[in-house]
Structure 1
Amino acid sequence: MSEDQKGEIIRMLGVPIVMFHERYLGLPTIAGKNKKEMFKKINERLESHLQGWQSKLLSKAGKTVLIKAVGQQSGQVLVGKRRKQEGNTLVYLGGPRNKKAGALGFRDLECFNQALLAKTVWRLALHPESLVSQLLTAKYFPQSNWAGAMVGEKPSFIWRSLLWGRDLSCTGVRWRIGSGNRVRIWEDKWLPMPWSFKIATPRFLLANTMVNYLMDQAGERNVRYVEDNFLLVDVEKILSIPLGGGNSEDAAIWHICPNGHYTVKSGYWLGREIKQLDMGTSSVGAGSASNFKNYWSLIWSMNIPNKVKLLWKACHSFLPCAERLFKSKIVSHPGCGRCGGPRETVLYSLWECPSVKKVWKLTWLSV
């Protein structure tokens, strides 16, 4: 662009010439190798909010609200994997986040960031005519697509982050069958069967055989052929797929949402499930864990202030009983100071101590 053209644009729009913007939405526009220095100001801004004098006067319930309102909103703009483990913070921020699973309801920022990045990848894949999509396609995968894109040589920080979100979006994407002439029977994901979405029957046709091979000339399923050649588990799923007719096109959809469109909420849920599967604590198919959902819901639905909900702390052994204080070397003896019992555990201090039982007898429980 010539200088005359630049001057004409400046006069028309009334804007100055800027070589490059140092920051956009609080983040530097150029990401170097030093990621610690890059996110330093975000950490400083977050700590200034959480360590102010006002937060010192809040109860634990108030500090929980402060972290959700300030800490999580500040952390969700990050575009990479960041973990922070400081002492007992993992007691509240680690493990399950859902209140029905016995936690405080904190959001997993790592999974939430990945869900946001997956949303960006979803939009770029749906709009290949956009300038950003064309730029990334020409640079990183000119002969492939988003599903087959690789890191490549000298990838940028943004591209690495997008691939991280791509991995999540590809996990929940499958084909919706229309005409069936774009989807391969064994190679592509098209069965409504999470999370592989693929045929379990051993391949007996060519690898590039399309799904329309299982249809007749009218575009309907060849039920007899499917039942005779595929496993029962595949037959049930194949026959349950609603066909769009021969005139409709095959389309990639997000399996989790009924309308087939990706949402950050569903992506976050899938990211949490994948993370818990890796840890061996997934809620999918966990019958014993589901038995406690009503129990935890009852605790959180009590019509009392959050700061006096001691039952949640008692279930997680967070109360400062003598046994815990003794293990932390705060007191010299783990015994009960009221009745002289040998060990004052959380259960003992709230239920088994003779002095506490006298108090319980005065209530409606009458134990």
Structure 2
Amino acid sequence: MYGLERLKKGIIQRIGNGRSIQIWPDNWIPREVSLKVVTKCTRPRIRWVSNLFENEHRDWYRSLRSIFLPVDGDAILKIRITSNETSDQIAWHFEKLGLFLVRSAYKLALRLQCLDQMASSTIQNQRGGRGYGEISGRQMYHQSCVCLHGDLHQMLLHQILIRR
């Protein structure tokens, strides 16, 4: 089951008409790690991605920033919507062509493991204990860890807040 859960974290819904993609539970926001909406569901009536479109122009509602956290709102507004009525597509997010490759799944697993370790270490340090990477006052980093920037940094902060 562990491999299946990792696989699910890399599958993304590519937006066509947005009618088959649920906003809150589905992976549809292209980012480095978490492809789901980070924002908690505050408006359950807004259920489908197509509810976020302006019908006439096939563009995003600008007011969606009031629904989502900035990290989500900014990422959503970067997604291009096709001008024609195509159906939504399932793809592997971590390859340009959307095809699953074991190599990219392995890289994703390492990245997620690193984030989990860093989040656990930060929480332990905040509680007064020694974290994963701290030995005798020196910082040590797991060899699979990658540099944090942009969305990846935001996701790490989100993971830390969730675990409190």
- TM-score, normalised via structure 2 length: 0.64
Which of 13, 29, 33 pairs up with 1:195? 33
Larger proportion of helix: 1
Aligned positions of 1:1-367 closer than 5 A: 163-206=1-44, 209-218=47-56, 220-280=58-118, 281=142, 282-285=144-147
* TM-score in terms of structure 1 length: 0.31
Q: Deviations over 1:215-242 (max 9, x none)?
A: 1223622332223433222221111112
Give the Å deviation of 1:190: 0.9
Count of aligned residue pairs for this structure pair:
125
RMSD over aligned CA atoms reads 2.5
Cα deviation code 1:294-332 (max 9, x no counterpart)? xxxxxxxxxxxxxxxxxxxxxxxxxxxxxxxxxxxxxxx
CA 1:261–1:205: 2 relative to 1, 3 Å: same
Contact 1:214/1:225 (<8 A) preserved:
no
Bigger CA radius of gyration: 1
SS in 2 for 1:261: coil
Residue by residue over 1:135-179, the C-alpha shift from the partner in whole angstroms, topping out at 9 and shown as x without a partner, is xxxxxxxxxxxxxxxxxxxxxxxxxxxx44322211211211110
1:212, 1:286 → 2: CA distance?
Answer: 32
* Structure 1: tracts of 5 or more residues without a match: 1-162, 288-367
Say which SS state the counterpart of residue 76 (structure 2) adopts. Answer: helix
Task: For residue 212 of structure 1, report the CA deviation from its aligned partner.
Answer: 0.4
Residue 91 of structure 2: SS of its match in structure 1?
strand
Mapped contact 2:16–2:89 kept (Cα < 8 A):
yes
> Is the contact made by 1:187 and 1:207 (CA closer than 8 Å) also made in structure 2?
no
Does structure 1 retain, via aligned residues, the 8 Å contact 2:9–2:35? no
Aligned sequence identity (%):
29
- Letter of the 1:220 partner, please give it: R
Task: Report the residue type matching 2:7 in the other structure.
Answer: S
Residues 179-199 of structure 1 deviation map (CA, whole Å, 9 limit, x = unaligned): 000011112111113322222
Q: Which runs of 5+ in 2 are unaligned?
A: 119-141, 150-164
Residue identity in the other structure for 2:70:
L
Distance 2:9 2:68 in 1: 24
Query: Larger RCO: Structure 1 or Structure 2 (Cα < 8 Å, ≥ 6 residues apart)?
Result: 2
Greater fraction of residues in strand: 2
The CA deviation at 1:207 is 6.2
